[in-house]
Structure 1
Amino acid sequence: MRDLHHPFKEVIGVLRSEILSLDPGITEQIKWKAPSFGFAGADRVTLNLRPTDRLQIVLHRGAKTRDDVVGFQFVDEAGLVQWLAPDRGTVSFTSADDAERKRGEFLRLVDRWMRV
């Protein structure tokens, strides 16, 4: 984080800390030069820091397509996720205010996503 140069650096720091505090089993590593979080040995949430006009968070179930994707369902009650596949989607925040408004819903979503 010290060397990170991104317009959303402050928001990233807050969300990073809050994601890690959701459960002691959540782990963090750096993947593609960005924070990535896992649970029970599986990667689940990765920040995409390439776009600088927004903060984009990728929800996934690992780097590769899984065999059990058919029939997989996850309900995003808040409507935050743009689904790219049944088990892969993105959440974007367009400003610090946007992230603050949606923070609670986002953290509940991440908490549930970690366990799928």
Structure 2
Amino acid sequence: MADNDVDAWMAAYDNPMKDVVAHVREILLAADPRLEECVKWQAPTFTYRGNLASFFPRSKQHATLMFHQGALIPGDHPHLLGEGKEGRTMTFASVAEADERRTELEAIVAAWIAMRDEA
């Protein structure tokens, strides 16, 4: 579900990766109607019974999503990178790369929602 605060944030966002960020946002929101968004930590954040992911808005070479508890999301998600206890990131250098990862992003959203529903 798109959020007016995020729409306003996107309108004011001045970054060469704006089109990529907007496209990843569209993919995530289309993945499941229960996924919501808001602005937290001065960036769009996607939520469902907790924080799924937030954009790193200052990245200028690629769009970056921080999956707050990415290590806990069930399934095989080869583009979730990181070695930390919980957090993982996924980067997108272009709209085309975001499209290539659409199925993986949809699987992440589905796994997150299923995990949160079991909690």
Question: How would you bin the TM-score normalised by the shorter chain?
Answer: 0.7 to 0.9
TM-score by length of 1: 0.74
Task: Determine the C-alpha separation between the residues in 1 that align with 2:74 and 2:34.
Answer: 23
- Return the alpha-carbon distance in structure 1 between the equivalents of residues 101 and 14 of structure 2: 23
Secondary structure of residue in 1 paired with 2:12: coil
The aligned counterpart of 1:16 is: 25
Taking structure 1 as reference, are residues 102 and 24 closer, same or farther at Cα in structure 2, changes over 3 Å only?
Answer: closer
Secondary structure, in 3 states, of the residue corresponding to 1:46? strand
Match of 2:59 among 51, 71, 77: 51
Aligned to 2:68: 60
Provide structure 1 residue ranges, at least 5 long, that are not aligned to the other structure.
62-71
CA distance in 2, matches of 1:108, 1:6: 28
Runs of 4+ off more than 4 Å: none
| Residue in 1 that maps onto 2:36 | 27
Query: Deviation at 1:22?
Result: 2.3
The residue matched to 1:24 in structure 2 has which SS? coil
User: 5+ residue gaps in structure 2?
Assistant: 1-9
Q: 1:58 and 1:114, CA in 2 relative to 1: closer, same or farther beyond 3 A? A: farther
- Partner in structure 1 of residue 47 of structure 2: 38
Give the RMSD, CA atoms, in angstroms.
Answer: 2.1
Q: How far apart are 1:5 and its partner, in Å?
A: 1.2
Cα separation, 2, equivalents of 1:21 and 1:97: 17
Q: CA deviation at 1:3?
A: 0.9
Deviations 1:50-101 (A, max 9, x none): 111111101114xxxxxxxxxx754552410112423210001123332222
Distance 2:17 2:83 in 1: 23
How many pairs were matched up?
Answer: 105
Taking every aligned residue pair, what percent have the same amino acid on both sides?
Answer: 23
Look up the match of 2:7. none
